[in-house]
C-alpha cells in the first residue's frame, strides 16, 4: 500500500494525463461523434492505449500498470467530466478474461474486446447463452459501443467465452442511445468461441464502480457549467445566482456531489484494501445507487436552472443529461442496487 501522499501524487498525475483526450470544456469532438457508426474515434482509442489506461489495473506481468481502483476511478471520473465516449471501462473489464497474447494485442489497441453479458434491459447475470463443444448459442444485448468491437467476452452458463466479431454465426445489430452512442445486440448461432477465465463477479463490480466514478465526473462538470451560468445570466437586473431560491438548490447539488465522491472513494478504497467480499459488494452497490440518483438529479436541475436554453440541443448542458440518462441504469439502477442489497442482507431473516 502506497503512503497517502505518494498515492495522492499518482492520482494527480493520472488526472492531468487525461488532458490528452481534450479539455473538459470542449465538446466539439463529442458532438461530431454522436450517432456515428462506432460512436467513438479510432485515433483517440489509440491515444488511450498508448497512455496505458486499459491495462491500468492489470498486473505488471500481464503488461498492465498494476494500479488500483482508486486510480482507475480517478481516471474514469476525468473521462466523465469530458463525456469521453471511448469504451474504456468495458474494454478494461474484458481484458481481465483474455489470455496473454490477446491481452497484449488489446493493450496495443489492435484488438478491441467488449464484455457481452446482459440478455435484457436489466443488468442481471442470469444467462441463457450456452457454450457446448466449442460452439456458442444465445442472444446478448445492451453491449455498449459494440459497433467498434473486434470481439466479445460472452458470458455463457458455462463461463466466459471469447468470440470474434467476424466468426461465422455471429451477427450484430445496433440501437442508438441518448448519449450519441449505441447498444449492440449479438445473436450467436453455433458461433466458434474460445473459453476464457476470470472472476466475473469481481470484474463486474469494478466496472460498476468505475461507471459510478464516470457519473461523478459527469455531474461535476454539469454542475460547474451550471454555476457559471448562474453567475453570468442576468434577469431583473441581477445575476440569477444571487437569488436565494437558486442558491439553496445549488447548495443541495453540491451536497449530492460531495456524498457521491465520498461514496465512490470509500468503495474504491475498500476494493483496493481487499476488504471482505460482502462489504465490497455493498460498497459498490451504494456508490452506484448514489451516483445514479445524484447524476440524474444534478442533470435535471442543471436543465431547469438553465431555463429555456437548457432545452435546446445546441447548448452543451443537454449532453450531460443524455449521458446521465444512459449511464444511470447501466450496471444496475439505484433502485436495483438497493433491492439487491435488501435481498442479500435481509431476505434470509433478521441478521
Partner 1 sequence: VTPVGGQSFDDMNLLSDDDFRGAVRRFVEANYPPQLRNQTRRLHWSENRVWYMALSAKGWLAPSWPREHGGMGLAAAKQLIMIEEFERHGCARISDMGPAMLGPLLIQHGSESQKAHFLPKILSGDHIWCQGYSEPNAGSDLAAVATTATLDGDSWVINGQKTWTTLANDANWIFVLARTDRQAKKQEGISFLLAPMDAPGITVRPIINLDLFDEFSEVFFDNVRIPADHLVGAVNQGWTITKAQLGFERVHIGSPRLSAYALARLRQIAERAGVWDDPAFRDRYVALEFDLADHKALYEIYAGRLKRGEPLGHDVSLLKLNQSELFQRIADFMLEIAGDEAGLLEPPEGDRALHAAGLFLLARPTTIFGGTSEILRNVISRNVLNLPN
Nearer to partner 1, 123 or 163 (CB): 123
The residue behind cell 442472444 is 139
Q: Across the strands, what pairs with 143?
A: 184
Q: How far is the CB of 77 from partner 1 (least distance, A)?
A: 15
User: Which residues of this protein are in contact with partner 1, per CB under 8 A?
Assistant: 4, 227, 230-231, 238-239, 241-242, 244, 246-248, 250-252, 254-255, 258-259, 262-263, 265-266, 282-283, 285-286, 289-290, 335, 338-339, 341-342, 345-346, 350
Q: How far is the CB of 177 from partner 1 (least distance, A)?
A: 27
Concatenating the DSSP letter of every residue in 222-287 gives HHHHHHHHHHH-EETTEEGGGSHHHHHHHHHHHHHHHHHHHHHHHHHHHHHTT--HHHHHHHHHHH
Q: How far is the CB of 311 from partner 1 (least distance, A)?
A: 23
Q: Interior CA angle at 251 toward 219 and 211, to 5°?
A: 20
Nearer to partner 1, 128 or 277 (CB): 277
Strand bridging mode 151-156 / 113-116: parallel
The residue behind cell 445486440 is 185
Nearer to partner 1, 51 or 250 (CB): 250
Q: How far is the CB of 221 from partner 1 (least distance, A)?
A: 15
CA distance linking residue 70 with residue 271, whole number of Å: 8
Distance linking the first and last C-alpha atoms of the chain: 33
Q: How far is the CB of 187 from partner 1 (least distance, A)?
A: 36
Is residue 168 classed as helix, strand or coil in its secondary structure? coil
Nearer to partner 1, 133 or 276 (CB): 276
Nearer to partner 1, 185 or 265 (CB): 265
Amino acid at each position: 500500500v502506497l503512503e497517502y501522499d505518494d498515492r495522492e501524487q499518482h492520482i494527480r498525475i493520472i488526472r492531468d494525463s487525461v488532458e490528452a483526450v481534450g479539455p473538459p470544456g470542449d465538446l466539439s469532438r463529442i458532438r461530431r461523434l454522436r450517432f456515428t457508426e462506432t460512436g467513438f474515434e479510432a485515433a483517440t482509442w489509440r491515444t488511450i492505449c498508448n497512455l496505458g489506461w486499459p491495462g491500468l489495473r492489470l498486473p505488471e506481468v500481464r503488461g498492465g500498470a498494476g494500479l488500483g481502483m482508486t486510480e482507475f476511478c480517478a481516471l474514469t471520473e476525468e473521462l466523465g467530466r469530458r463525456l469521453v465516449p471511448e469504451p474504456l471501462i468495458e474494454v478494461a473489464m474484458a481484458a481481465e478474461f483474455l489470455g496473454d497474447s490477446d491481452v497484449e494485442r488489446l493493450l496495443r489497441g489492435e484488438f478491441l474486446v467488449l464484455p457481452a453479458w446482459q440478455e435484457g434491459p436489466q443488468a442481471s447475470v442470469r444467462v441463457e447463452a450456452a457454450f457446448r463443444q466449442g460452439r456458442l448459442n444465445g442472444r446478448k444485448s445492451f453491449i455498449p459501443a459494440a459497433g467498434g468491437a473486434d470481439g466479445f467476452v460472452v458470458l455463457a452458463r458455462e463461463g466466459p467465452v471469447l468470440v470474434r466479431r467476424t466468426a461465422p454465426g455471429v451477427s450484430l445489430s445496433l440501437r442508438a442511445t441518448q448519449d450519441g452512442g449505441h447498444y449492440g445486440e449479438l445473436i450467436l448461432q453455433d458461433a466458434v468461441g474460445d473459453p476464457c477465465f476470470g472472476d466475473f463477479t469481481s470484474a463486474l463490480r469494478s466496472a460498476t464502480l468505475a461507471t459510478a466514478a464516470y457519473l461523478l465526473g459527469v455531474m461535476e462538470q454539469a454542475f460547474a457549467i451550471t454555476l457559471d451560468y448562474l453567475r453570468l445570466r442576468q434577469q431583473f437586473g441581477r445575476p440569477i445566482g444571487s437569488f436565494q431560491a437558486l442558491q439553496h438548490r445549488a447548495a443541495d447539488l453540491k451536497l449530492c456531489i460531495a456524498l457521491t465522491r465520498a461514496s465512490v472513494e470509500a468503495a474504491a478504497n475498500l476494493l483496493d484494501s481487499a476488504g471482505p467480499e460482502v462489504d465490497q459488494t455493498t460498497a459498490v452497490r451504494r456508490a452506484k445507487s448514489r451516483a445514479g440518483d445524484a447524476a440524474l438529479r444534478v442533470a435535471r436541475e442543471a436543465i431547469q436552472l438553465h431555463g429555456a436554453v437548457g432545452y435546446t440541443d445546441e447548448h452543451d448542458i443537454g449532453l450531460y443529461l443524455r449521458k446521465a440518462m444512459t449511464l444511470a441504469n447501466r450496471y444496475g439502477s439505484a433502485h436495483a442496487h438497493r433491492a439487491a442489497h435488501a435481498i442479500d442482507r435481509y431476505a434470509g431473516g433478521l441478521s
